[in-house]
Amino acid sequence: MATEAEIYADLTTIFNDVFLRDDMVLTPALNAKDVQGWDSFKQIEIIMASEEKWKLRFTTRELDTLKCVGDLVATIAAKTA
């Protein structure tokens, strides 16, 4: 089971890879409007990379409710619990 802190750490790596940066700071409220280049393609990349990382599959409903990083972390934490 992954703790929230671990999830944030691994997600930061994913975000850095996806946005080709090394300075991403993830906060629960962070969302697509805050990050340059976070379009629907990048959104799918983040989702697919998370599925690969935590070996899980998000349901269609779960994906529809993701509005910010906090939602994503909570969903991952619930699914890996």
Partner 1 sequence: MTDLHWLPEIPDWRARLRGLAKKTDGIWDEAVALANGRVNFVLTNALDEQLRRLISTPPDGLAAKPVRLAILGSSTLTHLLPAIRVAGVRRGIWIDTYENDFGQYIQELSEPDSALHAFKPTMALLALDAHDLTAGVTAAMDNDTAAAALDEVCDRIRATWRLARETLRCPILQQAALPVHLPVLGNNEHRAAGSRATFVERLNTRLRGMAEEEGVDLLAIDDRAARDGLRVWHDPGLWHRAKQEVAHGAAPMYGDLVGRWIAAKLGRSFKCLVLDLDNTVWGGVIGDDGMEGIELGQGSPLGEAYAAFQNYTRELSRRGVILAVCSKNDEANAIEPFEKHPDMVLRRSDISSFVANWSDKAGNIRAIAQELNIGLDSLVFIDDNPFERNLVRQELPMVAVPEVSDDPTAYPIALSDAGYFEGLSITDEDRERTGQYQGNKARDALKASVTDLPAYLRGLEMQLVWKPFDRVGLQRIVQLINKSNQFNLTTRRYTDEDAIAVMADPDAFGLQLRLLDRFGDNGVIAIAVGRIQANKDLLIDTWLMSCRVLGRQVEPTTLNLIAQQARKLGARRLIGVYIPTKKNGMVREHYVKLGFSVVETDPSGGSRAVLDLADFQPAETFIHVTEG
Site residues for partner 1 per CB under 8 A: 14, 16-18, 20, 22, 40-41, 44-45, 48-49, 52, 58-60, 63
Token pair, residue 39, equals: 């379009």
Pick between residue 9 and residue 44 the one whose CB is nearest to partner 1: 44
* 72, 11 contact by CB (below 8 A): yes
As measured in angstroms, the least distance from the Cβ of 68 to partner 1 is: 19
Pick between residue 1 and residue 64 the one whose CB is nearest to partner 1: 64
CA distance 35 to 24: 9
